[in-house]
Amino acid sequence: MGAHCCNHDHEQPVTPDPKYRRILWIALIVNASMFLIEIIFSLRSGSVALLADAIDFFGDAANYGLSIWVLAMSVQARAKAALIKAASMALFGIGILIHAMWNLITGVLPDAQTMSLIGLLALCANVGVGILLFTYRNGDSNMRSVWLCTRNDALGNIAVIIAAIGVFGTGTAWPDLIVATIMASLALTAAWQVMKQARQELS
C-alpha cells in the first residue's frame, strides 16, 4: 500500500466494480428499512441496546450512500469519506454510552421479548449483507469501513439477543446496559481502525 500511495495513480479516479455498487445499494436499502423497524420497537420496548442497533442501522445506511457516491473517485477522496464515516461511528459510540448512563439513572426495564424478536430479525438482515460484502472486506479504507460496520452490526445483533435473555432471566436492565456499552466500544474501536488506515492512505 505504501508504494501505491506514493505514485500519481493515487490521485486518479477508479472504475468501480458494478457488482460492489449493487451490493452497496442492497445494503443501503436493508439498513434503512431495519432502522425504521428498530427505532419503533426500541422505543416501545425501552431497550437501549436495541436503540443503539437502530441508530447504528441509520448510520450505516448513510455510510453506504456515501460509499456509493465516492466509489468512482480517487483513493484520497475515498479515504476522506472513510474519515467521515469513522467520525460518525465514534459519535455513535459516545452517544450510546451517554444514553446507557441515562437509562441506568432512570431505571428503565426493557421488554425482553421484543428485544429478542427484533434482534433476530436484524441479525438475519446483517448476516445477509455480510455475506455479500465478505469478498470486499480487505479493500481500501472505504471498503474496510463498510465491512467493519456490517461485521459490528451482526455482532451487535447477537449481543442484543443475549441481552434479551439476560433481561428475561434476571428481571433487571443490567444485561441491556452492558450490551449497549459493548456495542459502543465496538463502534469506537472500528472508528479508530478506519481512521488509522484512511490517514495512511492520505499520507
DSSP state of 124: H
Average pLDDT over residues 3-20: 50
Up-side HSE of residue 25: CA atoms within 13 Å toward CB?
Answer: 6
DSSP annotation of 110: -
The whole-angstrom separation of Cα 32 and Cα 24 is 12
pLDDT, residue 90, reads 84
The contacts of residue 54 (CB under 8 Å, 6+ apart) are 34, 35, 38, 39, 42
SS3 107: coil
105 CB neighbour count, 10 Å cutoff: 8
Beta strand segments in 63-184, E:
none
Q: How confident is the model at residue 30 (pLDDT cuts 50, 70, 90)?
A: very high
pLDDT tens column, 106-150: 777 889 999 999 999 999 999 998 888 888 777 666 677 777 778
Considering 13-27, 67-81, 107-121, 179-193, the range whose residues carry the highest mean pLDDT is: 107-121
- Cα→Cα distances 1→67, 140, 141, 195, Å: 20, 9, 11, 16
Question: What grid cell was written down for 10?
Answer: 493515487
pLDDT grade, residue 167 (50/70/90)? very high
pTM: 0.69
